[in-house]
Chain A
C-alpha cells in the first residue's frame, strides 16, 4: 500500500484545483457534444450536417497558439490551434468528455477537437485503473487539442446573412 497520494491527499489536490480553476482562473468554454444518433450519414458514414447537443459551460484553462495566415489561389485563410485543459472531475461530473469531432466555443471562435490526452495523474496513479485499488492517486486533467473551424459548416450559428434595414428578407450584409 502506497504511503503517499492517498484519498486525503487527492482530495486536497482536487480541492485546490477546483479553487484555482473555478474561482481564480474562471475561464469557461462552451462545449458542443456531437449527437451521433441524430446525424444522417451516407453509405460512407459521412455527413455535411452535424448535429450537436445543447452546449455545456465547462471551466478550462485555455491556451491559444498564434493564428497562422495563408494566402493561395483561393485567397487568404487563417488557422489557429488551441489547447483546452479541463479538470477531469468537471467532465466526470457532467458525464461529458470531449471527443474527436466535438466542438468547443471560446472567444467567439469554434474549435473542433483533434485529440485528447488524459495521462496527468497525481502520485503516478489513476484510481480508476490502478491495480492497487481506487484508494490512491488522482487523474487530474483532460487535455484537448483543437483547431479553429469554419462556423459555416457547423450549423451552430447562422452565417452568411445579415440584417438589412431596407429589405424585408434577411440577407447577408455583403450581398
Chain B
C-alpha cells in the first residue's frame, strides 16, 4: 500500500496548541497571524510554487518558534550578562525581560568588604581576641599558651591581625618630671617669682601647639633614647621588645585561616545566583519591534533551509527512472547554517553595541567630541 505523505500545499492554517511545537507563543494573536504568513513566505523563498518544497506546515511552525525562542534567548542572555553584577543576590521573583536595570553599589561594596576585613575596617569577618599574661623579664611567649576567645581556635591556624604592644602614649607622661624634656611652666613661674605661691596647683594657660610640641618631644625622646616597643613572630613564638619590666596582660586580635578562606555565600532563598535563575522570561512576540521580527523571519528561513536540506540529504542519491540524481540537500544545509551564524553574529554585535559599557564609552566620546568642537568656536573679546 503506497502511502503518500503530503508536502507543502501552498497554504496552512495555524491552530494554537496543535502545531506540534512547544507552543511557547501560541497564545499570542500576532504570533498566530504571522505563523501562516511566515510559512508561506519561507516556502516562497525556497522556490514554491515553481519547486515542490518537501516540508509541511509543522516544519515551518517549528522553525518559527525556534527562531522566536532564539531571538528572545539571545536578548535575554545579553541582558543577564550585562546586569549580572546587579542581579546576583537579588530576588528571583518578577520578570525583568525588557526592563532596564539601574546600577547600584551593593555588590561593589560587598566585594570591598573583603578589603575591609584585611584593613580592620568592617568586612565580613570579626576579629577575635586572645590574651596571655606577660611576666617581668620574660620576652618570649608561645602562641599556643594564649587564652583564645573561642576555645576551639586554639587548635586552628590563626592569623594575628593586631598585637596590643605599643609605646605608652606620650600624654600619660605629660607631667612626668623625669621625662627629660621638662615641664617648662614650673621653671617659668619660678623665674617670674611666683614659684612659692602655690607649688602644687599652679596653672598657666598655654596655647594648644605648646602641648603638641611637648608630646612630640616626649615621643622623639623615647624613640632616640629608649628601646622601641616592638615584637616579632616566628612560627608560634612571640618575642616582645623591650624586655618587660612589669607584669601585664597582652592582648592580640586574630582570625582563623579557616574563616578567611570560607566562602562568602549570600544566604537566603530565592535569590539570583547565576544565569540559570536570573528572572528573565520569554519575550512577548507582539511586543518585539519590527527589527526583531525581521530577524526572526530570516532566522526561520535559515532553519527551514536546514530542515529541507536534511530531508533532501537523507539519501545521497535519489533513483529516477533509468538513472539517479542528487538533490541540493548539502547546499541547503550549508546555506542555512551560514545564514544562522550571520544572523546570530549580527544580533550579538548589535546587542554589544548597546551594552552599558559601550553606551558609557559612547557618551564619553560624544562629550569629548562636543568639547573638541566647542574649542574651535572663536571666543569674542568682550568690549564693554
A-side residues, CB < 8 A to B, are 7-17, 19-21, 23, 60-61, 63, 83, 85-89, 120, 122, 127, 134-135, 138, 140-143
A12-B321 CB under 8 A given contacts A7-B3, A127-B2: no
- Alpha-carbon distance A23/B319, docked complex (angstroms): 17
- In the complex, whether B322 has a CB less than 8 A from a CB of chain A is yes
Instruction: Give the residue of A23, A135, A140 whose beta carbon is less than 8 angstroms from that of B320.
Output: A140
- Alpha-carbon distance A171/B93, docked complex (angstroms): 100
- Alpha-carbon distance A85/B5, docked complex (angstroms): 24
- In the complex, whether B7 has a CB less than 8 A from a CB of chain A is yes
Evaluate contact between A140 and B54: CB separation under 8 angstroms. Answer: no
Q: Which label, helix, strand, loop or mixed, suits the secondary structure of the B interface?
A: loop
22 contacts across the A-B interface (CB closer than 8 A):
A9-B314, A10-B2, A13-B318, A15-B7, A15-B54, A16-B52, A16-B318, A17-B321, A19-B52, A20-B325, A23-B52, A61-B323, A85-B321, A85-B322, A85-B323, A87-B321, A120-B319, A127-B2, A141-B321, A142-B321, A143-B321, A143-B322
Q: Give the number of residues in B that approach A within 8 Å (Cβ atoms).
A: 20
Given contacts A83-B322, A87-B320, 4 further A-B pairs with CB under 8 A are: A12-B311, A20-B320, A88-B321, A141-B319
Cβ-closest chain B residue relative to A88? B321
A8-B3 CB under 8 A given contacts A16-B327, A20-B325, A85-B323: yes
Task: Report chain B residues within 8 Å CB of A15.
Answer: 4-5, 7, 52, 54
Evaluate contact between B321 and A134: CB separation under 8 angstroms. Answer: no
Instruction: Give the residue of B5, B52, B315 whose beta carbon is less than 8 angstroms from that of A11.
Output: B5
- Alpha-carbon distance A61/B325, docked complex (angstroms): 13
- Alpha-carbon distance A21/B1, docked complex (angstroms): 22
Distance of B228 from chain A, by nearest CB (Å)? 89
- Alpha-carbon distance A83/B51, docked complex (angstroms): 27
Evaluate contact between B3 and A10: CB separation under 8 angstroms. Answer: yes
- Alpha-carbon distance A14/B319, docked complex (angstroms): 10
Cβ proximity bits B1-20 to A, threshold 8 Å, 1 near / 0 not? 11111010000000000000
